[in-house]
Amino acid sequence: MASRNLQFKTNYVVSSKIEPFYKGGKVQISKDEKYIFCTCGSRVNVLEISTGKVIHCVEHDDQEDITSFALSCDDELLVTASRALLLKQWDWKQAQCTRSWRAIHTVPVASMTFDSTSTLLATGGCDGTIKMWDVVKQYCTHNLKGSSGVVHLVQFHPDISRLQLFSSSLDCGIRLWDLRSSQCMCVLQSHYSAVTALSFSPTGDTMISSGRDKICTVWDLKTNKAKRTVPVYEAVEGVMLLPENEDFSEIGVKNNDLHFITAGSKGVLRVWEASTARCVYTQTLSSTLSAVSEEEEKEEKDDDPRSLTYLLHLPDSSRLATVTAEHNIVLYQLPALSTQQQFVGYSDEVLDVKFLGKDDSHIVVATNSCQLKVFELLTNNCQILYGHTDTVLSLDVFKKGFLFASCAKDRSVRVWRMDSDSAQVTCVAHGSSHSNAVGSITCSRLKASFIVSGSQDCTVKVWDLPEDLSTTGAEIHQLTARATEKAHDKDVNSVAVSPNDKLLASGSQDRTAKLWSLTGEGTVDLLGVFRGHRRGVWAVCFSPVDQVLATSSADGTSKLWGLQDFSCLKTFEGHDASVLKVIFVSRGTQLLTSGSDGLVKLWTIKTNECVKTLDAHQDKVWGLHGNRKDDKMVTASADSNITVWLDVTEVELAEEQAKQEDQILKQQELSNLLHEKKYLKALGLAISLDQPHTVLTVIKAIRQVEGSHELLEKTLLKLRVDQKESLLRYCVVWNTNARNCQDAQAVLQVLFTHLPPEELLQYQGARAHLEGLIPYTERHMQRIGKLLQTSMFLNYMWQKMRVAGAPSSMDQDEEMDTTPLAQPFFTIDKEKGTGSGDEEKQDGDDSGGEEDENCPGKEEEEDDEVSVTKKASSNDRRVENGESTKTNGNHHSESEESSDEEEEETDQTVKEMKCLPVSAAAQCQTILS
């Protein structure tokens, strides 16, 4: 039982991925509210809201960045515009481009939108013009000129019967276009900065506009005049009028007056009463933000990473969607504005990752950001944790998986707790006494009693945790360092605590790793130094079962060290660049390492062998962690990708065993079919096994049966098209070997005779197969020709030998017997395919047997199944029929009649040998031409 549990791992496969899907630009939600459409370079990704996964992706073939896109109101059509000045219409569910046309704009398209009927498409260009397209009849209907600079906003009036279009450009005015006359009806002037969004009332008589000049304006569209200007004291990127006749009392709406919601640079949603210009509600950020100090809040600027760039309304489900400057998409539920879902569009470089929660259902991720991200693996729903004020560098998780620690460039460490029921994460402890960035952190292994941090100030600190940490409320504990020790001469890159909490290991940029004792009261005592790496040590890790330490270094190696004498036990070389992480798996019998080359390698310690190399990243793999069950691991890279891997060793082993068992059963079935002479089923089974040699065995068995040609023809023609295709592929291989060429040529003769060239050329790779047949077939023909020449010489020698025994008075030249032998000198042994002398029918002449054994032609071409002398006999008959020669009637007069049948059989065999290669080569040439 123990040996089964300690079975070495052999392979991992990708279980799931968290990839960037949004890198800025437009975001749109489908009308059925199931999908989010967003740009990512040259692609438009379609994110399914329920699963958080990208299910469709459309991409321009020219790899040009997409500058804008629009989804029709019926969710059927998607139109994209790229820097190549092309507009493409997509069937986005099939990811197929159905139409492409020139945008006519002289510069890229900056904005576009559909009308409510999904027939008109408006595009605003960087050249200051607006084009109107009829996507059904496929032509340009309007060319609206007059805007100054980039037209960054176009929007139809919701009442399509008015045929009005609103646009805004760099002049900060809102132009109202009459599509009947193609004229600008008026310019609504109120803003002094870029107009960012427009929102209409249900009746279409009132419109509100927002701008980066920190104001919102309410417009009366009957008079085209401004009714009210509301100062909102932040750059506003999105505005939405609240629906009428709904209860929004939870967010400060106390009457039926016009109210609207704004989203902007402060990163919060606010509700305003238009008539009084009062802010009646300000969103409170989630509990994860409570760690932000008041001083930090006062220092907030308009470029805050939490600032909002889009505000979208989902009316059917009464939700709002916001997009942050850090490419996060957050869904809120009205009327309480409670956070429902969060999706991270882009994470930049991922610096560390750890499994978290019950059954490792979540992962916590440190990116090139001051926020932590906690992903639920099942839905990709994300919690964003605010607390650190600079980039988070490292993470570690306590044994039970609900507490974890983080450290950052802000010189602080934090401890976070996940609620086991709601999975909400809060900061419960905070400590800061390092004098430089904290680059590594590790947690106690036995219980949540302390954490250890390593910093760029060359010190390690031990922080004690309070006992009631797991039950604390909103209060954040302030941590103090129990012990501080100057550990190295350069940055401390990694720290690790032993499984019994008594030892501490540290790895540094000074090329050494050190072992420390944690048992002393308030002190950290040095026990020894591990020297041997040629460059800085990136990671250290204790074995879970042995007294050894693993280290990985920038010199491209990983090493195992003994804790007793601090000697190097093993060195693992294989990465082409720095080895950034190392962990133990398989109960300490194997290692996983990740490097700057983007590779993850699995090592078996006992053999020093790299069992598997996993390649799923394009940049440095900073994060590597295994789950508690040891059947999964997660990797995180500077390419923004997070990959969850699943151990498939047992699955692959079971599959291999099942495959072998199935092969044995099929081989047995094949033997039974051959024994029962069910050649068609046997041939089909052999082809399904994809075993050319087995198929050849069946073909040979068929050709040994009496009437083999008709049986072979009947059997082959009953095969399916895909089986014939495989058979043709096998024939190409068989034809390269002289031993098997006859079988290949017999199969080819049937295929070429009964299948039209058009059908043959439909086979996959047929042209290449036919071209491959020609040179070998011609070579076989040349060899047969040489054999015929040799046989003629042998026959001549034989005749001379017979004449030499005649009376001396006989004229040899005139009396030489050139008639075909009544009984062939060599005969075909159908069991062995070899020639044998037949002395009984040669009038007692013993020289025939000796000639048979010493035949040079037979030894040279022993792969051919037809004997040389049969060809010679055939040639004799050809000479007899073609030339007037004298025969010796004294020799074979008695045996000629009795051997007619055997002569016919010999003649037929030679014809097959001569005709098969010739016809196959000729037919190949004909089919290819």
Q: What is the pLDDT of residues 99-148, one digit of tens each?
A: 999 888 889 999 999 999 999 999 999 989 999 999 988 889 999 998 88
CATH number of the domain that residue 85 is part of: 2.40.10.480
pLDDT band at 684, cuts 50/70/90? Answer: confident
Of 18-27, 155-164, 820-829, least confident by mean pLDDT is 820-829
CATH number of the domain that residue 420 is part of: 2.130.10.10
Same-domain status, 611 and 738: no
* 890, pLDDT greater than 60: no
Average pLDDT of the residues in 601-620: 93
Average pLDDT of the residues in 434-454: 92
* 18, pLDDT greater than 80: yes
Same-domain status, 759 and 690: yes
Mean pLDDT of all residues belonging to the chain: 82
Taking CA atoms, 73 is separated from 113, 119, 211, in Å, by 10, 9, 25
pLDDT digits (tens, 9 = 90+) for 554-567: 999 999 999 999 99
Give CB contacts under 8 A, 24+ apart, made by 681-687. Answer: 683/715, 683/716, 683/719, 683/723, 684/719, 684/720, 684/723, 687/719, 687/723, 687/726, 687/727
Neighbours of 62 (CB within 10 A): 11
Same-domain status, 660 and 642: no
pLDDT band at 421, cuts 50/70/90? Answer: confident
Least Cα distance to 540 among 576, 524, 516 occurs for 516
Sort strands 109-114 and 96-102 into parallel, antiparallel or unpaired. Answer: unpaired
> What's the confidence (pLDDT) of residue 304?
67
Please give the Cα distance from 271 to 585 (Å, whole number). Answer: 53
Q: Is position 457 within any domain?
A: yes
Least Cα distance to 668 among 647, 686, 643, 684 occurs for 686
Same-domain status, 513 and 607: yes
Q: Take residue 392 and report the two structure tokens written for it.
A: 């988070």
Q: Is position 15 within any domain?
A: no
Same-domain status, 671 and 578: no
Where does a domain end: 728, 753, 784? 784
> What's the confidence (pLDDT) of residue 867?
38
Q: What is the DSSP string of 143-163?
A: EEE---S---EEEE-S-GGG-
Distance of CA 451 to the CA centre of its chain: 38
Neighbours of 594 (CB within 10 A): 30
Q: Which residue has the tokens 């507009």?
A: 87
Q: Which residue has the tokens 């720095």?
A: 578
Same-domain status, 458 and 367: yes
Question: 650-684 in b/e burial notation, b at 16+ Cβ within 10 A?
Answer: eeeeeeeeeeeeeeeebeeebeebbeeeebbbbbb
pLDDT band at 658, cuts 50/70/90? Answer: confident
Neighbours of 141 (CB within 10 A): 15
Sign of CA dihedral 67, 73, 78, 84: negative
Same-domain status, 637 and 673: no
Taking CA atoms, 577 is separated from 552, 573, 592, 598, in Å, by 11, 10, 15, 9
Q: Where are the alpha helices (DSSP H) in 708-846?
A: 708-717, 721-734, 741-754, 757-761, 766-804, 812-815
Residue 2 CB contacts under 8 Å (≥ 6 apart), including other chains:
none
pLDDT band at 887, cuts 50/70/90? Answer: very low
Query: Can you give the three-state secondary structure of 634-672, one letter per residue?
Result: EEEECCCCEEEEEECHHHHHHHHHHHHHHHHHHHHHHHH
> What's the confidence (pLDDT) of residue 124?
94
pLDDT digits (tens, 9 = 90+) for 466-512: 887 765 556 788 999 989 999 999 999 999 999 999 999 999 999 99
Distance of CA 615 to the CA centre of its chain: 10
Task: Record the pTM.
Answer: 0.71
> What's the confidence (pLDDT) of residue 30?
93
Query: What angle do the packed helices 708-717 and 679-688 form, to 10 degrees?
Result: 50
Share above pLDDT 90 across residues of the chain, in percent, rounded to a whole number: 47
CB distance 636 to 354 below 8 Å = no
Helix (H, G, I), strand (E, B) or coil at 731: helix
* 747, pLDDT greater than 70: yes
CB distance 273 to 259 below 8 Å = yes
Average pLDDT of the residues in 674-693: 79
* 857, pLDDT greater than 50: no
> What's the confidence (pLDDT) of residue 914?
47
Same-domain status, 600 and 465: yes
Q: Take residue 63 and report the two structure tokens written for it.
A: 């790899």
Number of structural domains found in the chain: 3
Same-domain status, 585 and 689: no
Please give the Cα distance from 869 to 68 (Å, whole number). Answer: 82
* 928, pLDDT greater than 70: no
pLDDT digits (tens, 9 = 90+) for 541-600: 999 999 999 999 999 999 999 999 999 999 999 999 999 999 999 999 999 999 999 999
Where does a domain end: 80, 102, 124? 102
DSSP state of 449: S
Q: Is position 319 within any domain?
A: no
Question: 164-180 in b/e burial notation, b at 16+ Cβ within 10 A?
Answer: bbbbbbebbbbbbbebe
State the amino acid at position 72 in one-letter form: S
Average pLDDT of the residues in 656-667: 81
Average pLDDT of the residues in 309-330: 92
Q: Which residue has the tokens 């009366």?
A: 220
CB distance 458 to 492 below 8 Å = yes
Helix (H, G, I), strand (E, B) or coil at 907: helix
* 681, pLDDT greater than 70: yes
Least Cα distance to 920 among 712, 785, 777, 754 occurs for 777
In the sheet where 319-324 sits, what is the strand order? Answer: 308-314, 319-324, 328-333, 338-344
CB distance 40 to 69 below 8 Å = no
Same-domain status, 372 and 422: yes
User: Distance between terminal CA atoms of the chain?
Assistant: 66
> What's the confidence (pLDDT) of residue 577?
92
Of 248-262, 603-617, 632-646, 900-914, least confident by mean pLDDT is 900-914
Of 312-326, 404-418, 467-481, least confident by mean pLDDT is 467-481
Range of the domain at 640: 350-646
Q: Is position 712 within any domain?
A: yes
pLDDT digits (tens, 9 = 90+) for 624-655: 999 999 899 999 999 999 999 999 988 888 88
Taking CA atoms, 547 is separated from 427, 443, 500, 542, in Å, by 35, 19, 11, 8
Same-domain status, 413 and 453: yes
Side-chain half-sphere of 771: how many Cα atoms within 13 Å?
6
Please give the Cα distance from 544 to 554 (Å, whole number). Answer: 24
Q: Is position 929 within any domain?
A: no
Give whichever of 59-63, 446-450, 723-727, 878-882 has the largest mean pLDDT.
Answer: 446-450
Average pLDDT of the residues in 415-434: 90
Least Cα distance to 34 among 239, 319, 374, 238 occurs for 319
Please give the Cα distance from 494 to 399 (Å, whole number). Answer: 19
Average pLDDT of the residues in 162-190: 92
Q: Is position 537 within any domain?
A: yes
* 864, pLDDT greater than 50: no
Same-domain status, 777 and 641: no
Q: Is position 284 within any domain?
A: no
Instruction: Write out the E strands in 422-521.
Output: 425-431, 438-443, 450-455, 459-464, 477-478, 481-486, 492-497, 503-508, 512-517
DSSP state of 7: P
Neighbours of 598 (CB within 10 A): 21
> What's the confidence (pLDDT) of residue 725?
81
Where does a domain end: 593, 624, 646? 646
Neighbours of 542 (CB within 10 A): 24
